[in-house]
Chain A
Amino acid sequence: MINQHLDTIILLSGVLFTIGVLGVLTRKNAITIFMSVELMLNSVNLALIAFSRLHNDVTGQMLVIFVMAIAAAEVAVGLAIVISIFRNRQTANVNEINLLRW
Chain B
Amino acid sequence: MIFDIVIYTVVFLAIASGILVVTGKSPVTSALALVFNFFCIAFLYLLMEAQFLAAIQVIVYAGAIMVLFLFVIMLLNLQEDITLLESFDLKKGLMVLIAAGFLLQVLYILSLQLPGWSSSPVAGQDFPDLGTAEAIGKALFTRFVFPFEMITVVLLAAVVGAVVLARKKVEND
A84 to B15 CA separation, bound complex (whole angstroms): 33
Q: Which A residue sits closest to B49, measured CB to CB?
A: A53
- Pair B64/A72 contact, Cβ less than 8 Å: yes
A19 to B159 CA separation, bound complex (whole angstroms): 29
A22 to B168 CA separation, bound complex (whole angstroms): 34
Residues on the B chain within 8 Å of A39, using CB: 18, 21-22, 34, 37
Query: Chain B 51-93 against A: per-residue CB contact (8 Å), 1 yes, 0 no?
Result: 0110011001100110011001101101001101000000010
The interface on chain B, measured as residues whose beta carbon lies within 8 A of the other chain's beta carbons, has a size of 84
Given A1-B3, A46-B44, A58-B139, also A83-B118 (CB < 8 A): no
A72 to B46 CA separation, bound complex (whole angstroms): 22
- Pair A35/B30 contact, Cβ less than 8 Å: yes
Which of B37, B110, B163: most chain A Cβ within 10 A? B37
List the 3 shortest-distance A-B pairs measured between CB atoms, nearest first.
Answer: A14-B106, A73-B158, A80-B165
Residues on the A chain within 8 Å of B96, using CB: 22, 26
Determine the main DSSP class of B at the interface with A. helix
- Pair B127/A73 contact, Cβ less than 8 Å: no
Query: Chain A 55-77 against B: per-residue CB contact (8 Å), 1 yes, 0 no?
Result: 11011011011101111111111
- Pair A65/B140 contact, Cβ less than 8 Å: yes
- Pair A29/B27 contact, Cβ less than 8 Å: yes
Given A7-B117, A39-B18, also A69-B82 (CB < 8 A): no
Checking A7, A29, A49, A84 against B165 with a beta-carbon cut-off of 8 angstroms, the contacting residue is: A84
Q: Which B residue sits closest to A87, measured CB to CB?
A: B168
A91 to B20 CA separation, bound complex (whole angstroms): 23
Beyond A21-B99, A31-B72, A65-B53: 17 further Cβ-contacts under 8 Å?
A6-B117, A11-B110, A12-B15, A14-B107, A15-B106, A19-B15, A26-B92, A35-B31, A38-B34, A49-B48, A62-B147, A72-B64, A72-B65, A72-B158, A75-B69, A80-B166, A86-B76
